[in-house]
Amino acid sequence: MKYQAGASYTEPYGSVYNQRSPHARGGREERCRRTLASMKRVHVPDLTLAALVASCFIQIGAQLFALVVVAGTVTEAPPRSFAMLAGQYGYDSSGFWNTVPTITSVLFLVALIANWKTRRRKLLLFALTLFVTGSLIAGLLVEPVFSEMTAIGYSDRVDSALQSRAARWYALDWMLWGVAASAGVALLLALITPAHDREVDLSK
């Protein structure tokens, strides 16, 4: 075979590829369309669930900090230890707790709707049940008891009865954190679970 000066040496191979059957090209295009459709289908569920996991673990982390650093100190020797909450610059995290749980609740709803027809639904419902249960315990028991105790205010003494009550409250707050952490683990399991059976088949 002769090659003219300046001609591309890939030309003979290019001519072979260009002569592929319409059936082969059509099959490849169909596979591409199916892959793109699958990506679009799981894109929104993955994003909404990832956002929920991030918000939930921000809340779990903040709750752990509050337990270890704040609640542990406040309940150590009340009402003397209430000094941490007293005065103009006393510790106050109400801005965080009035905002983040609301955002997490909204993200729960969005993620549940987006993943309703996926294999993650049961895990999301389980996590939501734990989240709602924890919120009810916090709103009906933990927060009112804490407000009632701290309403006594700072005093340079230690009340043994109040100290025992604060210790029981502290243990209950740890139990509440365990509920929240369990919800977070369920969400992580949901996130690593393929949204559809087809994804499992494609990964094999």
In three-state secondary structure terms, 19 is: coil
**pTM for the structure as a whole:** 0.75
Q: Note the pLDDT of residue 73.
A: 95
pLDDT, residue 25, reads 55
Tokens of 32: 């591409």
Closest CA to 129 of 121, 119, 141: 121
- Per 3-state DSSP, the chain is made up of helix, strand and coil in percentages (nearest 5) of 75, 0, 25
Rounded Cα distance, 194 and 191, in Å: 8
pLDDT the model gives residue 204: 44
**96 closest CA partner among 70, 123, 128:** 70
Residue with structure tokens 């894109």?
A: 43
Distances from the Cα of 149 to the Cα of 32, 54, 118, 120, 176, angstroms: 64, 33, 46, 42, 18
Dihedral angle sign, alpha carbons of residues 109, 110, 113, 116: negative
Local mean pLDDT, 10-residue blocks, the chain (204 residues): 48 47 60 62 85 98 96 96 93 94 97 95 97 95 94 95 96 97 98 76 44
Angle at 48 between CA 197 and CA 97, to 5 degrees: 140
Look at residue 195 in the predicted model and tell me its pLDDT: 85
* Nearest one of 52, 69, 48, 57 to 182, comparing CA atoms: 57
- The single residue listed with the structure tokens 């049940």 is 129
Closest CA to 118 of 186, 183, 194, 52: 194
Between vectors from CA 202 to CA 199 and to CA 204, what angle results, nearest 5°? 115
Q: Please report the pLDDT score of residue 43 as a whole number.
A: 86
